[in-house]
Chain A
Amino acid sequence: MTSEHETRSGVQAWVQVHLGRPGYVVAFAGLCMGTLVYFAGSRAAASGVLAVVFGLLVALPVVNVIAILIEEVRRRDWPFVVAAVVVIGLIAYGVFDRIN
């Protein structure tokens, strides 16, 4: 299956191949490593590894939004640029509001 969106979206394809896939592979490897370390008996070290992986998993969806932002800037489609910036701002607010 192909869609019109895909053929118009070079930035998103680049992000998928160069950031999304490596991120997925690192997350998968990290989860395997964290699980093995846990079964080896070092629970504190396993928690540390898994916390880093969870942080990566939180970051990956944001990368997709940034890719859409770059694509819309490239097309000079300002209403969608504003929408993407607001979404990123809302995520940042949601994260820092809870941390603080």
Chain B
Amino acid sequence: MISSDVFALLGGAGAGFLGALVGIGGGVFLVPLLDGLLGLSFSEARGVSLIGVLGTSSSAAMAPTGRRLVNPRLAIVLLLFSVTGATLGARFLGLFTERTYEVMFGVTTAIVAALMLSRRNIRNVLPAGTTDLGMFGGRMHDDDQACEVTYRLKRLPVAAGVSFVAGVLASFIGVGGGIIIVPMLNALCGIPMRVAAATSVLMIGVTAIPGVVASWHNGSLSDYHLAGITCLGALAGFQVGLRLCPYFPVKWLKVGMAALLAAVSAQYLFLR
């Protein structure tokens, strides 16, 4: 019992740490840990994971105000689609078998890993003098270049469509959706990695709500103690990640995440 608590605490801390670094809720890391190592069923792991995602998202409030890079307008527009998807996903949660959800999880992580690796050198920043930033563009200080830069959103319909899918998957497989939203915003829509991550952290908490309520309602969130320990780890891990964030180069964050995702994908697609 104690060892499972320690695993849950460390898993939650890892999820929170990744949340601070790359803007994901950590569900993609928590579900395999809870399901594979602690022996929870996939649906129980999904419920506990979503509580961890809520913890990661709430931790963003502790980020120093001046360092927040959230693009609230982009977040609210994409939330329209992700919350719609999450609500639909929560409504049809019992539609598929556990194995189907596992395959969904494996395929999702494989696609995102490939996307991250193929676009790892994309930075999406424009010179500071750029004036036409569009409705969703912005301006920020880039630590990597040590200068002021700007960015502009591209392909809003793609961002909206992928956000909808991320919402459905949030309810189906227990991820907050950040694992899909961050690479999509960065690789396809012209948003710098750190802005995509900060915006995603705001979005994942909201997107997770329908899935959490559905898991609560259908009884798959029954182990409050394990969920509490996992969430406690996520809150602490986020604070550590927040302090180390400026020391991690964006390119290597992408490579590390892609490697982790490829391993998780192989576990769900081939090792079961």
Contact = CB atoms under 8 A, between A and B. Distances in A.
Contacts of A95: 209-210, 213
A19 B232 CA distance: 19
A91 B206 contact: yes
Interface in B23-75: 51, 54-55, 57-62, 65-73, 75
Contacts of A19: 61
A25 to B, nearest CB: 9
Interface residues of A, number: 53
A35 B68 contact: no
Nearest to B140: A3
SS of A interface (majority)? helix
B261 interface: no
B205 A83 contact: no
Contacts of A94: 83, 86-87, 90, 209-210, 213
Contacts of B57: 60-61
A16 B65 contact: yes
Contacts of B205: 57, 60-61, 64
> What are the nearest 5 A-B pairs in CB distance?
A20-B61, A61-B205, A94-B210, A4-B139, A57-B54
Given A58-B212, A83-B76, 12 more contacts: A1-B69, A23-B58, A27-B58, A31-B228, A38-B228, A57-B54, A57-B55, A60-B57, A83-B80, A86-B80, A90-B87, A97-B91
